[in-house]
Structure 1
Amino acid sequence: MDSSKQLPIGKRLTFRILMTTVVGLALTLAAIGYTLLLSWQLEGGGAAINEAGSLRMRSYRLAMVLEHPQKGNSVIQELQEFNRTLSDLEHGDAKRPLFLPQTTSIREQMKKVQQDWHQHIQVNAQKVVAQTDPQLKQIALEDYAAQLPGFVKNINQLVSLVEVELEEKTTWLRLCQTALIFMSLAASIALLYLLYLWIVGPVTRMQAGIARMSKDDLSVRLPIETEDEFGVLAQAFNQMADHVQTVHRTLEDRVSEKTAKLQAQNHEISTMYEIAAFLSGPHAIEELCRGFLHRIMQRMNADGGTVRILDSDKGNVHITVHEGISEKMIEEEHCIKKDDCLCGAATSKGIILVRDFRLLDQQKRYRCQEEGYISLAVFQIQARDQVIGSFSLHFSQERVVKGEERRLLEILGKNLGSSIENQRLIAREKEFAVSQERNLLAQGLHDSIAQGLNFLNLQVQMLEDSLKRNDVEEIHDITPLLRAGIQESYEDVRELLLNFRTRLQDSNLESEMRNVVSKFQRQTGVHATIEISGDGAQLAPEQQLQVLFILQEALSNVRKHAQASEVKVKVANDRDFVMTVHDDGAGFDMSKVAQKGDSHVGLRIMHERAERLAAQFSIESSVDQGTTIALHLKRAERLVA
């Protein structure tokens, strides 16, 4: 804002400086003009003295010309020159300049000189010129000579009066010049004083005030001595100083307030990190809820709390964990409808905050109030934008949940919901994995033990029939078959136990595959080799285990059905993972196997394990040409180890 626009023009510093300059300039010009006028008058008066002095010389020269006439009209010329000089003295000549001072005594004396000239001197001179008679001419000349001293005396008197007047003007000129000098000095001093009074002084005081304020002297104030721009500036400085002093006084409180807010935010973030770290751990759902509730109660200084899980199918809310709540209340509310209490209602209505139960409807029963709690805060537990429960905090004293705390508890409620949902998914995944392994176990038992036991059952029935008929020869034939069937079932059980107990040591698939091939060769006597190539990354542990199971199942089928003399296993671990198992056994007709469908349990088990890997599985076989199985896991389906 331009403060000078708000000031009256008479109070503006610029107006005063302008007026002072104008007045000083006017006085200076007036003094200079007056000195010029005096100099001009002195110059004109000096010229008048010269002309008046020349009249005396002309008077005497006219007398000489009259006494000794010359040829020509010299007397007439002298008279004309004399009259011209008198005319110049009387009327003046501004061009030369030439004029007589306009005083009464000088004008009267000038009149005397003119009268004396016109009445006596000029008349007598004309008579001398006009007389032809020498005697009369001599008389006229004597009269001229007799009048001449008086005429010259009058001229001298005129010159004296002019000289006196010029001396006075010279004195005035010197006085004026001296006054001009002193006036210039006085104007300079006055100007310096005014500059100090109007500009330098206020600026100096302003600088001193700023210097004191820069040294933390916030009590400094500038005196408002004028109503000009510097007065407005001083007023603005004082207002600024008042504001700075006020801000400085409240700065400590504001810093403390900001520090407290930062500490609260840091505490909030640390709480969030701590609880998030806890929730990300491998805990059971009840342990998650208990640890969560304990940490939240510590953060909020709550006296009690509960975590309730919603059964959306039945509309019930179950207390999962609790702390600081009486057993009587737990017994009464361990399973309630979601609309029966505030904690249940929060699952459908959102956040519920009760500052003071005593301010609510006293005709309605609140179990929390009966327990002696004054305040209550209930927040939802959400997972994937679905409410799965609620957690409550109970306070024995009146407690207000602030906005920052409310946002924190909302976020933590969502984190708890996500952790609970993750644990549920993990449990389901484990259950599914166990179900799949049980299915594979059942298939293995069916393919080996069940079929063997069925064979033994038939042989036992035949043995019973032979005993009834006392057919010893048939009994001798059945007994070796029973022994062979029992031995084969025993070997199948050992192989199944070995397969399902298989674990990878340090995720070293290569060594485990070599061990499996080596055991197969020792147990069956079939020559077996394994060739592993490639420098690709290791498979993930779960993929390695499935590959190992497929290899075991393939070798088991060779032992049971192939009647092979040699088995070759090749593994190429490059960008893709490829495993082939080839035997030189009896082989089989692929069309007949396709007609059996899922009845061939071993092949189906290998197919299912390949599907778990998202790998391609193929079988090539022909009668008396052996069998080749291939597993191809593409790069896109490989998991990071």
Structure 2
Amino acid sequence: MDAAQSLPIGKRLTFRILITTLIGLSLTLMAIGYTLLLSWQLEGGAAAINEAGSLRVRSYRLGMVLEHVSSTTAAEEMEQFNNTVLDLQTGDPKRPLFLPATPAIRDQMNVVEGDWQRRMQVFAMRAEQAPEGPVRQQALREYADALPGFVESINKLVSLVEVELSEKTTWLRLCQTILIFMSLAASVALLYLLYLWIVGPVTRMQTGIARMTKDDLSVRLPIETEDEFGVLAQGFNQMADRVQTVHRTLEVRVHEKTAKLQAQNHEMSTLYEIAGFLAGPHAIEELCRGFLHRIMQRIHADGGTVRILDNQSDNLHITVHEGISEKMIEEEHCIKTDDCLCGAAVSQGIIFVRDFRQINNQKRYRCQEEGFFSIAIFQILAREHVVGSFSLHFTEERVISSEERRLLEILGKNLGVAIENQRLIAKEKEFAVSQERNLLAQGLHDSIAQGLNFLNLQVQMLEDSLIRNNLEEVRDIAPLLRAGVEESYEDVRELLLNFRTRLQENNLESEMRNVLAKFQRQTGIHGVIEFVGSGAPVAPEQQLQILFILQEALSNVRKHAQASEVRVKVENERDFKLTISDDGSGFTMETVRQKGDAHVGLHIMRERAERLSAQLNIESVPNKGTTISLYLLRQGRLVA
């Protein structure tokens, strides 16, 4: 728009259209005006012919009036004749009425007016004023003799006017014909100019736009004029140049972005693959080996190592290696953190060596002696703490890009987390084994150790009786020894049964029924179990602790309660509740508190309840039995 407004006014299309329109309108108005003028003249000439023709009639009628009518009527006729002559001389634009302004008509009109003024009016006035008699008759004869010549003058005037009007009629028809041809010519010229100035440029521009929509970015419009369409064509060409340039640049950018996205996809796939591997249940050495192998494939490294840091001795130990000679591994299987590049990376961070020849040649680098040209060393981090380092060795010059550096840093952190997780899992397993051993030791102390102590006392008494040769005491001690051995044997079997218990197919109900059935077979005590509720299943790790608590409770019933019946009730709603009640001898809670940790069975049950995040309640009345209740609230339940 700015370029169009800056055009000179003579070159603007709007100015040309305006000038053409004004010229055409002026010519049309002139032709129409001239036609109207001719029509007006023809109309006025026709009225003049009528008036001139009426003079002949008035001349004859004046003669008749003079002969037979009074002088008053003759005077009126002469006055009307004079008015008509005056109208023909001066004309009347309102009617319209006027004689054509040609010299012949004007001269003839003067002749008619002169004849009238000098002859015919004089003769008429004499006849009018003369009394009846020879003088009047003489005046009438003179009027009658002059009348044919006067009428002939009027006829000549009418003929001249008719000839003039005939010529004007011809001119009118010629002007109308010319106006028709002018209209046709103007229409043709207007169409040509519209095509030349508007339709042609618009068509060319439409064609160019259509080609551009079909991705023909090489299209250009010819600049044939200097008007607005020329400016528009120039702007179109500039736009096409810009679009073509942008398209070429865009293609380059698309290729660059595509390559970048492919690299990122490769990077992400590598990250997901290695992260998925590190998340698996692998030993630390297997984790490091799989990690190193995948990293070397991704980076196209020729060798590599993974070193784990020993924080106590500040040593780095090679855990796994690939593409490295045994001689180098023998020399570097254990290095200090300030020794060589791999050790320095632990404290300094990432280390890149693009060309060993460009660094200190006086210092010995075993990697360079192995024939490696470049090396990249990254830290293995776990929660911002250095766990170790891994190195990638290249036999040719290698530059690590920023994307690869970011990927390797992330993978180093993932490896550190995986190593730390495996260490925590190992510690957790060690702690779990320790706890189970503690429970086993408590069980042995509560049952077998006390039984063996009893047997030891009985054996000492047996030895004393044999020394004294008291067979009566020997016979009394022997059944006690047998009973003690059987009791210890039962305790061992029960402990082995409890610690070898495993849930089959995650079915707590069937396992609890099996435990109660074995208890009935071994002790002969009647048992009843009841399951209530349709809550979600308990998580497997919690089911196993519940089963251990049931086994421990039944073991206490066998050892101490002297009961005849045991009832077990399981209520599984949003909360979980286990109730074990017997009709045995019972005890007082004061007695339990006095024994403290010596009552190992109850202590073991409380520890298992704490593992469950559950509440264990014990209610017992001497000679009225004992009830043990385990409450696992919904907040403490794990998802199965």
TM-score, normalization: structure 1? 0.86
1:82 equivalent in structure 2: 81
1:498 partner amino acid? L
1:101 equivalent in structure 2: 100
1:424 partner amino acid? R
**C-alpha distance in 1, partners of 2:492/2:104?**
168
1:167 partner amino acid? S
User: Contact (CA 8 Å) 1:56, 1:155: kept in 2 or not?
Assistant: yes
1:397 partner amino acid? E
How many residues matched?
A: 638
2:564 equivalent in structure 1: 566
- Identity level (%): 73
User: Contact (CA 8 Å) 1:518, 1:528: kept in 2 or not?
Assistant: no
1:618 equivalent in structure 2: 617
Which runs of structure 2 are paired with 1:119-268 in the superposition (5 Å)? 119-131=118-130, 134-135=133-134, 137=136, 140=139, 143-144=142-143, 147-209=146-208, 219-239=218-238, 259-268=258-267
1:25 equivalent in structure 2: 25
User: Contact (CA 8 Å) 1:569, 1:579: kept in 2 or not?
Assistant: no
2:448 equivalent in structure 1: 449
2:530 equivalent in structure 1: 532
Which runs of structure 2 are paired with 1:369-518 in the superposition (5 Å)? 369=368, 371-461=370-460, 484-518=483-517
| Structure 1 counterpart SS, 2:396 | coil
1:37 equivalent in structure 2: 37
Give 1:31 shift.
0.9
Cα gap change, 1:379 to 1:78, in 2 (>3 Å) = same
**C-alpha distance in 1, partners of 2:537/2:201?**
86
User: Contact (CA 8 Å) 2:318, 2:333: kept in 1 or not?
Assistant: yes
User: Contact (CA 8 Å) 1:510, 1:532: kept in 2 or not?
Assistant: no
**C-alpha distance in 2, partners of 1:385/1:593?**
50
Alignment RMSD: 3.7
Which runs of structure 2 are paired with 1:263-278 in the superposition (5 Å)? 263-278=262-277
**C-alpha distance in 2, partners of 1:156/1:217?**
85
1:77 partner amino acid? E
User: Contact (CA 8 Å) 2:569, 2:580: kept in 1 or not?
Assistant: no
1:36 partner amino acid? L
Cα gap change, 1:585 to 1:130, in 2 (>3 Å) = closer
1:48 partner amino acid? A
Cα gap change, 1:461 to 1:9, in 2 (>3 Å) = same
Gaps of 5+ in 2: none
Give 1:36 shift.
0.9
User: Contact (CA 8 Å) 1:293, 1:306: kept in 2 or not?
Assistant: yes
Q: Deviations over 1:345-399 (max 9, x none)?
A: 5555555555555566767776655554444444443434544344333333343
Give 1:38 shift.
0.9
**C-alpha distance in 1, partners of 2:309/2:40?**
121
Give 1:420 shift.
1.9
Cα gap change, 1:466 to 1:74, in 2 (>3 Å) = closer
2:288 equivalent in structure 1: 289
User: Contact (CA 8 Å) 2:373, 2:397: kept in 1 or not?
Assistant: yes
| Structure 2 counterpart SS, 1:78 | helix
TM-score, normalization: structure 2? 0.86
| Structure 1 counterpart SS, 2:93 | coil
| Structure 2 counterpart SS, 1:325 | coil
Of stretches 296-305 and 319-328 in structure 1, the one that deviates more from structure 2 is 319-328
**C-alpha distance in 2, partners of 1:121/1:597?**
175
User: Contact (CA 8 Å) 2:566, 2:583: kept in 1 or not?
Assistant: no
Q: Deviations over 1:462-482 (max 9, x none)?
A: 566666667676666656655
Cα gap change, 1:58 to 1:364, in 2 (>3 Å) = farther
2:599 equivalent in structure 1: 600
| Structure 1 counterpart SS, 2:280 | coil
**C-alpha distance in 1, partners of 2:178/2:95?**
29
**C-alpha distance in 2, partners of 1:246/1:456?**
103
**C-alpha distance in 2, partners of 1:130/1:547?**
166
**C-alpha distance in 2, partners of 1:589/1:157?**
168
Cα gap change, 1:632 to 1:528, in 2 (>3 Å) = farther
**C-alpha distance in 2, partners of 1:140/1:629?**
175
**C-alpha distance in 2, partners of 1:538/1:435?**
28
**C-alpha distance in 2, partners of 1:114/1:358?**
137
Gaps of 5+ in 1: none
| Structure 1 counterpart SS, 2:71 | coil
Cα gap change, 1:456 to 1:197, in 2 (>3 Å) = same
User: Contact (CA 8 Å) 2:53, 2:155: kept in 1 or not?
Assistant: yes
Q: Deviations over 1:239-282 (max 9, x none)?
A: 55556666777787666555544443433333233222211211
User: Contact (CA 8 Å) 1:517, 1:528: kept in 2 or not?
Assistant: no
2:52 partner amino acid? A
1:46 equivalent in structure 2: 46
**C-alpha distance in 2, partners of 1:585/1:181?**
136
| Structure 2 counterpart SS, 1:546 | helix
| Structure 1 counterpart SS, 2:638 | coil
Which runs of structure 2 are paired with 1:2-21 in the superposition (5 Å)? 4-5=4-5, 7-21=7-21
Q: Deviations over 1:308-336 (max 9, x none)?
A: 33455665544432323344554555445
User: Contact (CA 8 Å) 2:526, 2:564: kept in 1 or not?
Assistant: yes
**C-alpha distance in 2, partners of 1:410/1:463?**
75
User: Contact (CA 8 Å) 1:379, 1:410: kept in 2 or not?
Assistant: yes
| Structure 2 counterpart SS, 1:321 | strand
1:545 equivalent in structure 2: 544
User: Contact (CA 8 Å) 1:38, 1:169: kept in 2 or not?
Assistant: yes
Q: Deviations over 1:524-573 (max 9, x none)?
A: 4x4332323235454333333333333333343344444x2524141324
**C-alpha distance in 2, partners of 1:423/1:89?**
135
**C-alpha distance in 1, partners of 2:517/2:74?**
174
Cα gap change, 1:27 to 1:351, in 2 (>3 Å) = farther
2:88 partner amino acid? L
| Structure 1 counterpart SS, 2:426 | helix
Cα gap change, 1:61 to 1:534, in 2 (>3 Å) = closer
1:55 equivalent in structure 2: 55
Give 1:139 shift.
5.2
